[in-house]
Structure 1
Amino acid sequence: MASSIDPPISVIRHRLRFALVLAAACAVAAAFLASHLDRAEAQAGIASEWNGADCAVTVPGSWPSNAQLPDPFTRIDGTRVTSQSQWECRRSEIKALAERTVYGDKPQPDSVTGSVTSSRITVNVNDDGRSTNFSATVQLPSGTGPFPAVIVYGGFGADTATILGTGTAVVNYDPGAVGAEGTPRNNKQGAFYNLYGATSSTGVLMAQAWGVSRIIDVIEQSGGSILKPATGVTGCSRYGKGAFVAGAFDQRIALTMPIESGSGGVAALRSIPQESGSQPLSSAYSEQPWLGDAFSAYTANPGALPVDTHEIVGMIAPRGLFIMDNPHIEWLGARSGALAALGGAEVYKALGAGSNISYHSNTSNGTHCATRTEWKTPLQQSINRFLHGTGAPPATISMHPNKTANLAQWRTWTTPTLTAGNPSETTTPPEQTTNPGETSSPPPAGTGCTAKVAVASQWESGWQGSVQITAGSSAINGWTLTWTWPGSQRITSSWNAAVTSSGATVTAEDVGWNGAIAAGQTATSWGFVASGTGTAPAVTCTPA
């Protein structure tokens, strides 16, 4: 039955990046000043792939079994998360545990180069003396670019006509080129395994997520003349599994849209054995090398896992997430999908971003991976909000009456309200550090806010900026930034802010989920690509 439900896909594995966004930015800037321009360009887009890369995570050799969903807010050392700054490192713990037991590692390559045209993206990757390459095709919407883009797994995800109709490009990604299905676990094939070996323990889902990240690297290096570095990802069935993993393990992905992903996808691993007719974990493990080799130890005992997929959902928070499920095919485990969505939604709520997650299985058409009328409006709303910065997200949890889930039966933990804080408690607060190309000022003494621009990376024709905002003695619930460029610099694309430009004058506003900042705290709230020479303008911040 598995083959009649799922179409085909591909692979990956990981190494944590050495620094947090600003530290990586400094390293890239230093490389540029040392005339290593090619290397700097390769690093341009990947500094923010994982914001918690500076967190010290030690995975224990063992952990207690738990028949219920693990507490996302309890750290490996047994203490509980109380702030957003602590959540950054807790998310890194979940990431490391998930790689160790479920998916396999996602390595960070030495360099990535490539090109973006109106019809194609080429990707060249080098790591530890080995090289590989692959490509993806591009379909642009009508109108004048640059455009945000949705990466579609195998041309088989959310309705491409609807995506294009929102003024969003479609990047058709062939995951089989990066990690081929139909291969044994000890002889995996594809671009990922060309670098990391045919016997790599990393499963296909993580391998294909690695490929998505490399496409984003190239988009971010391209300067934003065709595609903006504001990216979504989608796929259905086995491609839905892949899209889910891609969105969880790359924090640059603004919108994740998995469809009917079933076992090995969104569906809660502990719930699947109790959902009659759903694809067993042993089947999901053996049908294709989707999951990492280590998962074989848990197919008959998911309660022994230190994580579950509600925490993988939580890894995506507070970014946009729209999960679509099919309640009419038992094999797809929609009840377990609903459970994972409800559990992950608690992380969104704790971060004050509860409206950024939507789950929808209340459909009348049971055809697998069909284009459904019930999904069209929330799909448009999600794309407009998270890729274009307009309108409101759908903010809906709509479970089919026959496939509802009860989170209370699966947890003993409660959901905290996480206070705002710096990205990491283990590093010097960004507002106290001066980096090349960056203005610096202390937190405002009053109830206002301050902001500064850091040059994250620069190449021959442009540069990438990262914007930090600090609240004063009182919390703020939104912000507006204004500045005037001192020269010919102009923003060509941006993400996580609503930006308007008039000549040399720039105005940027928050996009809702990133507007709230606690008193005296700093948030790296958004970024942009600009033309000209990297520079840090004097920024005026006005609280909402």
Structure 2
Amino acid sequence: MAFFAILPLLYLLTIVQAGLAAHPQTCPPTLSRSLPAPTDLPIIEALPDPWTFFNNASLKSPADWACRKAELLTLVQEYMYGYYPDTSRETVKASRDGDTLVVTVSVGKKSGKFNVTLSMPTNVNATRRDPVPVVISAGGVNDTVFLGSGVALATFTVTDVAADSTTPGGVFWDLYSGEDIGVITAWAWGFNRILDAIIEVVPEFDQKRVGVIGCSRDGKAALAAGIFDERITLTMPMSSGLEGIAPWRFQFQELGENEKITNITGYAPYWTNTNLLKFVNNSHQIPFDSHLNVALVAPRAIIWDEGTIDYWTNPEGEARVTFLASKAVYDWLGASDKIGVAIRDSGHCDIFGYTNIQAFMLKEFFGTPTDRNYSDISPYTPYPTAYPWIDSAPGKSLG
């Protein structure tokens, strides 16, 4: 796919970042599709430095973040996600029948559709004049946490969008057959097209208070959805593991094995583009890590949940490494209260996880005060070996 496929995203990124800084430095040359092969990239032992451009030039202040964010968006697409489709070529139409939303997407003469289930809050009357926040959910959640808090749900099945299989199937592949795009990106595209449909025919949902959520592989997709769509105000990846919140470079396996790139490329290589498979022998050559995927959401809000005995998803790495490294970027941007981690003493996709993030969600959607410290990584401790650059952020915070 041509590099121009990401231009609409970069344009949107520029508009959003205008509120952060009026006069960034001149950006380094835009990265092209002639980037190095994975095997030709340098080995980076620690987490890649957020404040160093791909050409090794240094950022000078938070005003430069828009430039860095734009090149990171290219890097994660080139080496992991595949290039997000050019949505300017798409036509999205929505129809609504009771609690069913039908999303139809067309590209040229190709077309496909999938269904979404709408659930209204139980304690408020959602109207065009008084719209409610909405969370787009990949699969079921603890409904009470959302509907009982005045938050609507729009729930879909990711496999209707793209099959969880090496054999392409679903609406996305009806439109983009043959493209080197990961299924995680296809699922993220599904979240984003649902938001298009909501904007078109569900005026009771507040377009300025939109969340995305998913657990496990759906959590990987929720993170990608937050990365690729600046309209999403709260991203909530649950128990997402590798290709989500877990770091590529640092595993903590004293109590149980962590998911690794060799595992994923063995049982689900189609989750990403083919370039990622070429890092299987050295993940230290990946020019980003999970902290930079999280930082691509900045300065919008993100909260993730993890269970201390969910060893496969590397909860220790998500807290000790990813959280503290990505929070440094949020702090630098003056958005310290927009990132959080919620740790619980249980396993994979525990239903308590939704209660675990509830206070953060209510703070973001309604301004509800909370005493919960969502920067607390206990029972874990910081792992400074992973981020030797953490105290070298250039310039001042914008906060």
1:122 to 102, 107, 110: 102
In structure 1, C-alpha distance between the alignment counterparts of 2:241 and 2:249, rounded to whole Å: 13
1:412 to 368, 388, 391: 388
Matched, 1:265 2:244: yes
In structure 2, C-alpha distance between the alignment counterparts of 1:270 and 1:116, rounded to whole Å: 45
Matched, 1:96 2:74: yes
Shift of the 167–416 alpha-carbon distance from structure 1 to 2, 3 Å rule, reads same
1:70 to 45, 48, 62: 48
Query: Residues 59-208 of structure 1: matches in 2 within 5 Å?
Result: 59=32, 60-61=35-36, 62-109=40-87, 110=89, 111-116=91-96, 119-142=99-122, 143-145=124-126, 146-155=131-140, 157=141, 159-181=142-164, 183-184=165-166, 187-197=167-177, 199-208=178-187
2:285 to 304, 307, 331: 304
Q: 1:247 is matched by which residue type in structure 2? A: G
**Contact conserved, 1:233 with 1:253, CA < 8 A, in 2?**
yes
In structure 1, C-alpha distance between the alignment counterparts of 2:261 and 2:77, rounded to whole Å: 17
In structure 1, C-alpha distance between the alignment counterparts of 2:56 and 2:13, rounded to whole Å: 29
Question: For 2:101, what is the secondary structure of its paired residue?
Answer: strand
Displacement of 1:113 in angstroms is 2.1
The residue that corresponds to 2:21 in the other structure is none
Displacement of 1:312 in angstroms is 0.5
User: More displaced, 113-122 or 74-83?
Assistant: 113-122
**Contact conserved, 2:248 with 2:260, CA < 8 A, in 1?**
no
The residue that corresponds to 2:5 in the other structure is 15
Displacement of 1:406 in angstroms is 3.2
Query: Residues 305-384 of structure 1: matches in 2 within 5 Å?
Result: 305-338=286-319, 339-361=321-343, 363-364=344-345, 366-372=346-352, 376=355, 379-384=357-362
Displacement of 1:417 in angstroms is 5.7
Displacement of 1:22 in angstroms is 11
5+ long unaligned stretches in structure 1: 1-12, 26-51, 422-515, 517-544
Structure holding more helix per residue: 2
Q: Which has the larger radius of gyration?
A: 1
User: More displaced, 97-106 or 114-123?
Assistant: 114-123
In structure 1, C-alpha distance between the alignment counterparts of 2:301 and 2:148, rounded to whole Å: 19
User: More displaced, 256-265 or 114-123?
Assistant: 114-123
In structure 1, C-alpha distance between the alignment counterparts of 2:371 and 2:285, rounded to whole Å: 36
The residue that corresponds to 2:267 in the other structure is 287
Deviation digits for residues 367-408 of structure 1, max 9, x if unmatched? 421222x762x523222222234436955223352xx35341
Shift of the 393–148 alpha-carbon distance from structure 1 to 2, 3 Å rule, reads farther
Q: 1:216 is matched by which residue type in structure 2? A: L
**Contact conserved, 2:13 with 2:66, CA < 8 A, in 1?**
no
Deviation digits for residues 294-340 of structure 1, max 9, x if unmatched? 11111221101111111001111121111111111322211221211
TM-score (norm. length: structure 1): 0.63
Query: Residues 352-501 of structure 1: matches in 2 within 5 Å?
Result: 352-361=334-343, 363-364=344-345, 366-372=346-352, 376=355, 379-391=357-369, 394-401=372-379, 404=380, 406-413=382-389, 414-416=391-393, 419=396
Matched, 1:243 2:219: no
In structure 1, C-alpha distance between the alignment counterparts of 2:55 and 2:304, rounded to whole Å: 32
Shift of the 190–22 alpha-carbon distance from structure 1 to 2, 3 Å rule, reads closer
Deviation digits for residues 253-300 of structure 1, max 9, x if unmatched? 111111111122210011138775112211122322222221111122
Q: 1:257 is matched by which residue type in structure 2? A: M
Paired residues, number: 371
Shift of the 255–127 alpha-carbon distance from structure 1 to 2, 3 Å rule, reads same
Shift of the 417–149 alpha-carbon distance from structure 1 to 2, 3 Å rule, reads farther
Deviation digits for residues 89-148 of structure 1, max 9, x if unmatched? 211111110111112111123222213565122222122442222121111112211221
Shift of the 148–79 alpha-carbon distance from structure 1 to 2, 3 Å rule, reads same
**Contact conserved, 1:14 with 1:106, CA < 8 A, in 2?**
no
Q: 1:176 is matched by which residue type in structure 2? A: T
Shift of the 349–24 alpha-carbon distance from structure 1 to 2, 3 Å rule, reads closer
Question: For 2:6, what is the secondary structure of its paired residue?
Answer: coil
**Contact conserved, 1:336 with 1:405, CA < 8 A, in 2?**
no
RMSD (Å), alpha carbons = 2.9
The residue that corresponds to 1:277 in the other structure is 257
2:200 to 221, 227, 249: 221
Identity %, equivalent residues:
28
**Contact conserved, 1:57 with 1:96, CA < 8 A, in 2?**
no
Deviation digits for residues 131-180 of structure 1, max 9, x if unmatched? 2221211111122112211111122x4x3211111101011111101111
In structure 2, C-alpha distance between the alignment counterparts of 1:144 and 1:93, rounded to whole Å: 43
In structure 2, C-alpha distance between the alignment counterparts of 1:345 and 1:118, rounded to whole Å: 41
Structure holding more strand per residue: 1
Question: For 1:293, what is the secondary structure of its paired residue?
Answer: coil
